[in-house]
Amino acid sequence: MEGVLVKMSEISKVTNTYDESNIQVLEGLEAVRKRPGMYIGSTTSRGLHHLVYEVVDNAIDEALAGFCTQIDVVINKDNSITVTDNGRGIPVGIHPKMGISTLDVVFTILHAGGKFGDANSGYKVSGGLHGVGASVVNALSEWTQVHVSTGEKVYERRYERGAPMGEIDVQDKKLPTGTRVSFKPDDEIFEELEYDYDILLQRLREQAFLNAGLVIILTDLREEDDEGNPKSERLHYEGGICSFVEYINRNKEPLHGDVVYVKGEKETCMAEIAMQYNQGYTETIVSFANNIHTGEGGTHETGFKAALTRVINDYARKIKMLKDSDKNLSGEDVREGLTVVISVKVLEAQFEGQTKTKLGNSEVRTLVDGIIAEKLEAFLEENPATGKIIIDKAMTAARARDAAKRARELTRRKSALESTTLPGKLADCSEKNAELTEIYIVEGDSAGGSAKQGRDRKFQAILPLWGKMLNVEKSRVDKVYNNDKLLPVITALGAGIGDEFNTKKLRYGKIIIMADADVDGAHIRTLLLTFFYRFMLPLVEEGHVFIAQPPLYKVSKGKKEKYAYTDRELQKVLEEMGEGSTIQRYKGLGEMNPGQLWETTMNPETRTMLRVELEDAIVADETFTVLMGDKVEPRRDFIERNAKYVANLDV
């Protein structure tokens, strides 16, 4: 039933009957307001920003159809949003089936849009396949104002919480064609209403890369630049996804000059791939289908990986860098240090799941495989020097992988001969169900000792670390297995690393980093997070990693004690406790006795922890590259840009 959510209520406990009176029907947009998470994922910041993406995606569809060249997105001072495009304008005539203005159909009826027909209908390819974008934004907004110019007339329409207000205002005005949609998210729906400029900028930059030549301008009227003008950025990339690869690699050292670009099309789909190797050790694959980021990959990524591995091996044997007796290079070997952007456009895109994060079209795999097989092979033939550089890097990666395998097997053999397979300094818990357990990775033996005495032994394990560990951003996997600081972490967690990592083998449901609140502690946290992101990514993706928040101060007055976790909180505590209070500044975790550490940092009833989440893989990759990579200038720039947040941090 389109536009209607049917809810099966509980069977009456009094009459034990179940009939038509137990079925609740939510008409039209009321269903969206009752269950917003079904349509935008959540009512948190993520859902708030998703509203903007829905409106922008409609304008992007106009660009894909060849009718829009510029999109303006404005964050207004009241945190409302205005999106303007110079496309054809939303149709405004009476809808032949519904008998009302098509404008109202688009904004008040679910699953209505120009994206359901064949290639001759409104749009040939589109991201918004469900046709719910405009109507969902309207339903979840306090108000929505729509302005449509057809070139001869201007149509304006206001909605409040999804309902049309009055009549459509029609004016005879000869203005350029286009659509302007303004909306203010509803505070009855969303937990927060503050838009983040950087989050929107990241998404809009992606769209500008994916649509070569399209101009997207983001403006924030809440903030001014040094010259007193509204904060703004113009996004325009004639190089398309080649520029995207250059952008991702801008803080890395490219292994060869130009970005390799190939494209092709077949019947109902088109694919383009841009790729460039760098001197790093991690692969970055970013894929899109109809401009939607496919974070879980899909058939386009599968086709690319298979063809790349095959082509590189065939070419390596052809030029005799791989001998007949040599094993083939693995997919992991040939993708080391590779940055690739894959963008496909499909007439009938099949996404797995409501979130549209994995592409399922089988014909796309065949197309991408064929493009890489034909055109990458031709590129290598025409650029033998680049080909040799790529193969040499892959062969070096293969040797490191073999060394890591030997080290891994040696570690297993040594463990089998010892009385226990767990690290000697690990204080394990008695509970074996990983869903109920947690491990604290603690900086230093002193803090580790307090944590061991203060913990709940049933479900809390403690692993002390000492000294600085390996910076894995600058190291291959073989170095990880030879590092005495990281090996205890790998062994304690029990799930392996890299391509062998298996969450099902994880011994603890929560991995909690507990380090001092100083520069050294921050460095250790960053090193550990880099390790988890590069070698145990599912830990972060599935929400297993946390950062403990020990207090900075203890305020005492007589027998009364209170803890403060930030400087701002300290001032509040001092005001509450009054004169005569004494302040103890904790320089490290080791200064707290076991009882204090339990009460403030380890007791699930009273502690505060930060969950490490992965909002955007591209941003995360860039951040780790900047902070932990070889280049100094990007790191200095990052610190200068973000230093202001340190003083304002209140977590």
Outline where DSSP puts E strands in 466-522.
Answer: 510-514
Q: Which of 54, 301, 443, 621 is catalytic?
A: 443
Phi, psi of 160 (to 5 degrees): -130, 115
Q: Is 191 a catalytic residue?
A: no
Query: What does the alpha-carbon distance between residue 467 and residue 485 come to, in Å, rounded to a whole number?
Result: 8
Q: Which of 188, 520, 567, 613 is catalytic?
A: 520
Strands 460-465 and 438-443 come out as parallel
Determine contact, residues 433/508, Cβ cutoff 8 Å: no
Query: What does the alpha-carbon distance between residue 66 and residue 69 come to, in Å, rounded to a whole number?
Result: 8
Query: What does the alpha-carbon distance between residue 261 and residue 372 come to, in Å, rounded to a whole number?
Result: 10
Q: Which of 160, 402, 409, 518 is catalytic?
A: 518
Neighbour count for residue 533 (Cβ, 10 Å): 24
Strands 23-26 and 153-160 come out as unpaired
Outline where DSSP puts E strands in 76-116.
Answer: 81-85
CA angle 180, 181, 186 (to 5 degrees): 165
- Residue 216 is inside which H or E element, if any? strand 215-224
Task: Please give the radius of gyration of the chain, using alpha carbons only, rounded to the nearest integer.
Answer: 28
Query: What does the alpha-carbon distance between residue 276 and residue 335 come to, in Å, rounded to a whole number?
Result: 10
Residue 149, classed as helix, strand or coil, is strand
In this structure, which long-range contacts are made by residues 33-42, counting pairs with CB atoms below 8 Å and at least 24 apart in sequence?
A: 33/139, 33/140, 33/161, 33/162, 33/189, 34/5, 35/5, 36/140, 36/189, 38/5, 38/354, 39/132, 39/136, 39/140, 40/136, 40/140, 41/355
- Paired tokens of 642: 């973000």
Q: Which of 62, 72, 369, 516 is catalytic?
A: 516
Q: Is 443 a catalytic residue?
A: yes
Active-site residue set = 443, 516, 518, 520
